[in-house]
Every structure is written in structure tokens, then in C-alpha cells.
Amino acid sequence: MRMKPNCKFLLGLCSMLALGFLYYSSGRLTLRGWGHKSLYDKQGFLLKLDGKLPLELIYKYGNLSKGACKPGFAAAKMTAIYPKFTKPAPMFLDPNFKQFSKIGDYFPPFGIKSQEKILDILLLATKSYGLGEELDNLSCKRCIIIGNGGILSNKSLGQRIDEFDVVARLNEAPVKGFEKDVGSKTTMRITYPEGAIQKTERYESQSLFVLSAFKALDLRWLQHMVFSQSLRSTEGFWKSVAKHVPREPGDMRILNPYFIQEASFKLIGLPHNNGQMGRGNIPTLGAVAITMALHNCDEVAVAGFGYNMSTPHAPLHYYEKIRMSAIKESWTHNISKEKEFLLKLVKAGVIQDLTGGICSAGC
Ligand SMILES: *[C@@H]1O[C@H](CO)[C@@H](O)[C@H](O)[C@H]1NC(C)=O
Ligand SMILES: *[C@@H]1O[C@H](CO)[C@@H](O)[C@H](O)[C@H]1NC(C)=O
Ligand SMILES: *[C@@H]1O[C@H](CO)[C@@H](O)[C@H](O)[C@H]1NC(C)=O
Ligand SMILES: *[C@@H]1O[C@H](CO)[C@@H](O)[C@H](O)[C@H]1NC(C)=O
Ligand SMILES: *[C@@H]1O[C@H](CO)[C@@H](O)[C@H](O)[C@H]1NC(C)=O
């Protein structure tokens, strides 16, 4: 006798759950399966991209005189096409790095887990964590990331490049002898041990030496460079590495690994692989640097990225003779997925591409 209401209750509960489930799954279906309802792609970028400014940005920036630096522009434009974007993420690690929660749960290259002790030592020694007073003081910063592509050759962009407040170069890309095309200013050189300039005389006399750590060993390498200790073994590196970096500790920085994490898992959409390094889930240094700039610069430009499709025999890099046809399939990077991401940024006008290589096949 007393079972009956109980049963009825359960039955009601069940059907409510079932209905709820149907409702939930149909919602997911319309969001994911039949894409015609969603305005966003899998990564969360607006599908329909064009260079037009949203109304609120026209109101904010339309009034500025032509050519004036637009405060907050890159981040505002980024948020307009990628609503998940949240700006705060410091360029370099500083002694408060443990409070930046996004990097605590990941091992290198995506975070700082298990590296806290060595980071404390390094950051205590370098003492400086910004771009320097003059640049940190600017209320509007224009940054340019110089890729190493042959597409930079013979375009005489040097002067335009030098007009940026922050010029970031990657790895061993030379300046001397190429000033006409690549400029002569270097605010920072972002690199990792295997990519760093090896000949000490080739370092420019003033620039920040910025380590982008891709493995725990890279931080131990930096420790040797910071304290000018000789490197006893190069075991664990995938090619020869710099043995000495002619820079004072105060001119050395550690790039916030959040940019590697965000570029890989969120912006480009590479395999998460349980947060560990794996096949095709490491963004190139160029993509990492652009991600850094989106968070820390008011306007962002790039040059030397991508290839000119109509000249397959042109040099791969602006400073050496290797041809583009020599490109090898990479295990670590996913160049084609990465290019899709860069294309979105250029298409929407979040970044400006001075050499036009990112959209060389159309935008
Ligand atoms: C736009 O510029 C005009 C002229 O310089 C100025 O009077 C006006 O206040 C500005 N409007 C906004 C919203 O800044
Ligand atoms: C930066 O700003 C601070 C505080 O406004 C000022 O004291 C300092 O002189 C500025 N430094 C430079 C290099 O402009
Ligand atoms: C750039 O110009 C030089 C001299 O005119 C020429 O030898 C070289 O092939 C050119 N490089 C490219 C990539 O077009
Ligand atoms: C790059 O991504 C595409 C699409 O997700 C995938 O098919 C391809 O295997 C990936 N390449 C590498 C090298 O991981
Ligand atoms: C690509 O190469 C062609 C042929 O040399 C040239 O006309 C064109 O301007 C180049 N495009 C870019 C974006 O460099």
C-alpha cells in the first residue's frame, strides 16, 4: 500500500530526468552538430571575420587622429572576435608567479609545476621583470614581432619596423647587415637554448634576453647563463646550445609560459594530451610571441611570417640560403593549424601583417 506513491514519485522523477536529458542533448546538438546556429568555431572565434570595427570600437577609436596609437586596441579587437579572451597575463615571470593560477597546474612548457624552486632562484638573481621604465611608462605601446621568413627580403621595411615601441626578434635572427629590411632596433630577443645565438659577438649590445622554456632543462640552462657557470653537459638538448650569453642577469627575463598554454590549447586548438608535451601540440615561438603581444601591447604587428606561395624557390629565412622546399614535416608543431589561427587574426584586423605572408593565399 505504501509503495504506490513512492513508485509514482520515482516514475515522475525518471521522466523529468529523461526530459531534461533530451533537452540538454538537443541543446548541445544545435550548438555543435548543426553549426548553422553557432556564430563561433570550435576554438571560440567568430566565424564571420572582417576588418570592420564593431560599433563600440568605432565610437572609442574612430575619433583618434590617423596614425595615433590606439590604447587597448589589440585586446578589444581580439575580444570582439574571441569573447573568451581575458587580458591580464604579464609578459614575464616575476616573484609573484605562484599567484598566477593558470600556470600552476601544468609542467613545462605549459606551466611552472615542479619548477618553483629554480624560478625563485632565477627571479631573485635577475631582479627586473618588465620592459624597463621608459617602455613600462608608455600609456600606449605598439609592438612588432619579427618572424624569420624570407618574405622579409627586399621589402625595405627596416625604417617602419624601427618606429615600433617594442621590436621582438626570435632566436638567432641577425640584424647586422640586414638593417634595411629588418630594422636595427631590438627590444627583446625571445629564444630557447637550442635557438639562442651561439657566437657571443653576434649579440646586439642592448636588448632583453628572454627565455621561452619548453622543458625543465631550459630553466637549468638559464641558471648557468645567469650565474655565468660553464655548462658541463649538453645532454637532453636536441642540438647544440649557447654556452654563454653576454648579458647581465638584470637584462634576462623568463617569458610567461601561459602564452604557450593559451596558444596551444585555446587559440590554435592543438591536442591537450593531458597537459603534457606531445605530437603536434607545441606552438612555434612566433605564435607564442604574438600571443604575448596580444596581452601586453596596445597595437600588434608582425612581419616575416608565412610564405609567398608564388615563389616556392625563395629562401626560407631572410638570412640564409635554405629554400622553402626544404621544410620538413614537424613532429612538435602543427604549422597548418597554426596558420589558420594567424589568418583569423589578420583577417579580423587584430594584428597587422607588414609582409603579407599570412594571407598570401587570400584572406
Ligand atoms: C571626438 O573628437 C572631437 C574633436 O576632436 C571632440 O570634440 C569630441 O569630444 C570627441 N569625442 C569623443 C567621444 O571622444
Ligand atoms: C616613469 O614614470 C614615473 C612615475 O610617473 C616617473 O617618476 C619616471 O621618471 C618615468 N620614467 C621614465 C624613464 O620616463
Ligand atoms: C633580393 O635582392 C637581391 C639583390 O637585388 C637578390 O640577389 C636576391 O635574390 C633578392 N632576394 C629575394 C628573396 O628576392
Ligand atoms: C595537425 O592538425 C590536423 C588537424 O587537426 C591533423 O589532421 C594533423 O595530423 C596535425 N598534424 C600534426 C603534425 O600533428
Ligand atoms: C610574391 O612574389 C611575387 C613574385 O616575385 C611578387 O610579385 C609578390 O609581390 C610577392 N608577394 C608578397 C606578399 O611578397
Structural domains present in the chain: 55-353 (3.90.1480.20)
Check residue 202 and give its pLDDT.
Answer: 94
| pLDDT of 217 strictly over 90 | yes
Q: Per the structure block, which three cell numbers stand in for 224?
A: 648557468
CB contact set of 100 (below 8 Å; sequence gap of 6+): 89, 90, 256, 258
276 lines ligand 3 (CB under 6 A): no
Ligand 4 site residues, Cβ closer than 6 angstroms: 279-280, 334, 336-337
Check residue 35 and give its pLDDT.
Answer: 46
| pLDDT of 220 strictly over 90 | yes
Higher-confidence residue: 287 or 67? 287
Q: Per the structure block, which three cell numbers stand in for 166?
A: 617594442
As a whole number of angstroms, the distance between CA 351 and CA 72 comes to: 13
Mutate to test the pocket of ligand 5, among 308, 309, 318 (most ligand atoms within 8 A of CB): 308
| pLDDT of 87 strictly over 90 | no
Mean predicted confidence (pLDDT) in 233-252: 94
Check residue 26 and give its pLDDT.
Answer: 42
315 lines ligand 3 (CB under 6 A): yes
Residue range 177-190, pLDDT digits in tens: 999 999 999 999 99
CA-closest residue to ligand 3 atom 7: 154
List strand residue ranges (DSSP E) for the chain, in order. Answer: 142-146, 166-170, 188-191, 208-211, 252-254, 299-303, 351-353
* % helix, strand, coil for the chain, step of 5: 40, 10, 50
Mean predicted confidence (pLDDT) in 19-32: 44
CB contact set of 91 (below 8 Å; sequence gap of 6+): 130, 131, 253, 255, 256, 292, 295, 296
The gap from C-alpha 291 to its chain's centroid, in whole angstroms, comes to 3
Task: Find the 109 Cα to ligand 4 centroid distance in Å.
Answer: 20
Mean predicted confidence (pLDDT) in 27-48: 72
Give the residue from 249, 263, 219, 253 showing the smallest Cα distance to 237.
219
Residue 5 neighbours by CB distance under 10 Å: 9
Check residue 302 and give its pLDDT.
Answer: 98
> What does 151-162 look like in DSSP terms, one character per residue?
GGTTS--HHHHH
| Residues 249 and 121: beta-carbon distance below 8 Å | no
Mean predicted confidence (pLDDT) in 205-219: 96
What does each C-alpha distance from 302 to 89, 103, 333, 342 come to in angstroms?
20, 26, 20, 10
Q: Per the structure block, which three cell numbers stand in for 275?
A: 597537459
195 lines ligand 3 (CB under 6 A): no
Mean predicted confidence (pLDDT) in 1-16: 46
CA 336 to ligand 4: nearest atom = 1
Task: Find the 68 Cα to ligand 1 centroid distance in Å.
Answer: 14
CA 314 to ligand 3: nearest atom = 13
pTM: 0.88
Extract long-range pairs of 189-193: CB within 8 Å, 24+ residues apart: 190/255, 190/285, 190/288, 190/289, 191/285, 192/218, 192/285, 193/217, 193/218, 193/221, 193/237, 193/241, 193/242
Task: Find the 22 Cα to ligand 1 centroid distance in Å.
Answer: 53
Q: How big is the chain, counted in residues?
A: 363
CB contact set of 150 (below 8 Å; sequence gap of 6+): 307, 314, 315, 316, 317, 318, 324
pLDDT grade for 36, boundaries at 50, 70 and 90: low
Task: Find the 315 Cα to ligand 3 centroid distance in Å.
Answer: 10
Mutate to test the pocket of ligand 4, among 281, 337, 338 (most ligand atoms within 8 A of CB): 337
140 lines ligand 3 (CB under 6 A): no
